[in-house]
Amino acid sequence: MLESCLVLEMVDNAQIGGEVGREEYQGPPFSIRLLEHEIEHAGDASRRDRDRLLSLLPASYRKESGDLAAATQHVTACVEKELDLQRLASIHGWLWVAGLPLPPRPLHHQLLLSREIFVTERMDMHLVWTTGRIFLKPIPRFLLEPGFWAEYLCCAHGCDGSLDERPVLRGTQNCERQSLRQRALGFLFSYAALISHESDFRIAQDKHLLPPSVHWPKWRTFVEQLDTENVYPRIDPRFHHGELRLSRLNKIYALSQTPLRGYMARWDQYSAFFRDNFAWLASATIYIIIVLTAMQVGLATESLARNDAFQSASYGFTVFSILGPLISAALIILAFCCIFISNLKKKEAAPVTGVNHNLAKLMPACSRSKMNFPPDSPRPYSMDELSVPRLNNIHDHLWLAGRPIPARPLTYQIVSLQAITITEDIYLHLVWEPGRMFLKPLPRYLLSSAFWTEHLVCQQEQNNCLCSTN
């Protein structure tokens, strides 16, 4: 199947800018095997081709509910999550405000602009930048393997995979694979622009944006086969725009999609929300004081004291200076109440999904696990990142400290400017405070099946646990 797809894709590639045949979109956009050495020697040589392709997927992905699922069990759903651009699709008409319709500038130029590269695994955060930072998603291994494209990103036979001259995001005329293909090809096109020189290639390898088995000569051939000069009709419209400014995305998203919330969360604590909002209110109050003082001096002069217009202006501004800060403070408190109630509803609604109940079933029936929680109660690990230092006797109130979903990936913690602090206390694992998160390293014995069998698995006979309950 791979060979036939490659032939269809590479035939008469010079005519791709003209009228494109429907069959040309059925194959991978490139034929070079960048991961050839890695694929051939991965695991047992007798493994099936499909298993070798699945080995390129991530270890897990997150469902819409936030639960973790094995990527190899839901390949299409995993690829869809890896290439998700739904948030940007909802504001596509406003992307011209956030970025120019040009390819992104190379990695060496990003460093010249004093932008530090932050790794993110969210496709909708790829090429988003803010002061001193730019977020880049590393290239997934499966997107560098032509066989994976042929198996999972090429339209099936009989599918109308043709593209409109002006493709739309999640268009109804394109099949699901065609939509995934557009996003994947646009993503590769962005890296063709980011890695233009060998110096860019070295920077990408140093930042772990490319698999280590990719080499510069093959990368040059890979970019050439993408045919970047005529790629725009074949890619997702999001990638018509290169770098996107985060501050403008926040404003666009807050005004058009989610009031009071931006594209990326600005506050990780309520104290930060009050600090930022009352800071500008305090600055405005200082300016009001200066104006009132100037008006008071003006009223002491004869010319302004007899000026009716100045008297009216002074009267109006005095009333504004009294009511303005009070109304602003009330609006800030009202916004806080809306955000708090929204977060509270999310935390209360989350157990309905069954996350806690499923995790509770994993609790052993005896105390062999050394856990001081009843078997029928949710485990503390079912909570996200807890903001309290102690867990003893407060597990019924953990919903106040963290949402009942799995912890977010390490890349997200780094993007959120959370420094990782190592701890050996299990009750501090996944506990966070502003600027840092505590993580307990994974002990070696927990990776040994023999240790689990010997020390952590209850031996039961006729539903009676034989372990000591002391």
Are 48 and 190 found together in one domain? yes
For 179, counting Cβ atoms within 10 Å of its Cβ (0-12 exposed, 13-18 middle, 19+ buried), the class is: buried
Q: Does any domain span residue 242?
A: yes
Q: Does any domain span residue 439?
A: yes
Are 46 and 142 found together in one domain? yes
**Helix or strand (DSSP H, E) at 270:** helix 270-299
Q: Which of 201, 229, 256 is the last residue of a domain?
A: 256
Residue 170 phi/psi, 5-degree rounding, is 55, 40
> Does 357 have pLDDT greater than 50?
no
Kindly state the average pLDDT of the residues 432-439.
77
Q: Do the beta carbons of residue 275 and residue 260 sit within 8 Å? A: no
Kindly state the average pLDDT of the residues 138-152.
90
Kindly state the average pLDDT of the residues 357-362.
40
Q: Does any domain span residue 265?
A: no
Q: Which of 256, 288, 315 is the last residue of a domain?
A: 256
Give the least confident one: 93-102, 273-282, 343-352, 393-402: 343-352
Which of 184, 153, 226, 189 has its CA nearest to residue 85?
184
pLDDT of 6 reads 45
> Does 365 have pLDDT greater than 50?
no
Give the least confident one: 3-7, 287-291, 297-301: 3-7
Alpha carbons 262 and 250: distance in angstroms, whole number: 4
Alpha carbons 106 and 112: distance in angstroms, whole number: 10
> Does 268 have pLDDT greater than 70?
no
Alpha carbons 40 and 315: distance in angstroms, whole number: 82
Are 320 and 442 found together in one domain? no
Are 108 and 206 found together in one domain? yes
Q: Does any domain span residue 414?
A: yes
Within its chain, how far is the Cα of 158 from the centroid?
35
Write the DSSP assignment of 39-88 as a string of letters.
HHTSS-TT--HHHHHHTTS-SEEE-TTS-EEEGGGSHHHHHHHHT--HHH
Kindly state the average pLDDT of the residues 330-354.
69
Kindly state the average pLDDT of the residues 399-410.
74
Are 41 and 152 found together in one domain? yes
Are 206 and 289 found together in one domain? no
Are 230 and 128 found together in one domain? yes
> Does 465 have pLDDT greater than 70?
no
On average, the pLDDT of the chain sits at 75
Please give the share of the chain, as a percent, with pLDDT higher than 70.
70
What's the token pair of residue 338?
């809306």
Are 119 and 146 found together in one domain? yes
Helices 270-299 and 308-349 cross at an angle (nearest 10°) of: 170
Q: Do the beta carbons of residue 56 and residue 93 sit within 8 Å? A: no
Alpha carbons 376 and 396: distance in angstroms, whole number: 12
Q: Which residues pair with 135 in a beta bridge?
A: 118, 128
Q: Which of 350, 378, 404 is the last residue of a domain?
A: 350
Q: Does any domain span residue 445?
A: yes
Half-sphere exposure of 286 (CA within 13 A, CB side): 6
Q: Does any domain span residue 310?
A: yes
> Does 24 have pLDDT greater than 90?
no
pTM here?
A: 0.66
Which of 79, 29, 89 has its CA nearest to residue 237?
89
Write the DSSP assignment of 281-326 as a string of letters.
HHHHHHHHHHHHHHHHHHHTSHHHHT-HHHHHHHHHHHHHHHHHHH
Give the least confident one: 54-63, 107-116, 211-220, 366-375: 366-375
Q: Look-up: residue for tokens 């602003």?
A: 328
Q: What is the pLDDT of residues 106-134, one digit of tens each?
A: 999 999 999 999 999 999 999 999 999 99
Are 245 and 393 found together in one domain? no
11 secondary structure, DSSP code: T
Q: Do the beta carbons of residue 83 and residue 140 sit within 8 Å? A: no
Are 215 and 322 found together in one domain? no
pLDDT of 18 reads 40
Task: Name which residue leads in pLDDT, 69 or 159.
Answer: 69
Helix residue spans in 307-460 (DSSP H): 308-349, 355-361, 410-415, 449-451
> Does 174 have pLDDT greater than 50?
no
Are 340 and 454 found together in one domain? no
> Does 67 have pLDDT greater than 70?
yes
pLDDT of 331 reads 87
Alpha-carbon Rg for the chain in angstroms: 28
Are 97 and 180 found together in one domain? yes
Q: Does any domain span residue 263?
A: no
Kindly state the average pLDDT of the residues 157-171.
43
User: Domain containing 241: what range?
Assistant: 2-256
pLDDT of 336 reads 81
Per the structure, the count of domains in the chain is 3
In this prediction, residue 4 has a pLDDT band, given cuts at 50, 70 and 90, of: very low
> Does 150 have pLDDT greater than 80?
yes
pLDDT of 188 reads 95
> Does 157 have pLDDT greater than 70?
no
pLDDT of 122 reads 92
Q: Which of 61-75, 192-206, 444-458 has the highest mean pLDDT?
A: 192-206
Q: Do the beta carbons of residue 154 and residue 28 sit within 8 Å? A: yes
In this prediction, residue 462 has a pLDDT band, given cuts at 50, 70 and 90, of: very low
Q: Does any domain span residue 129?
A: yes
Which of 232, 220, 267, 227 has its CA nearest to residue 34?
220
> Does 161 have pLDDT greater than 70?
no
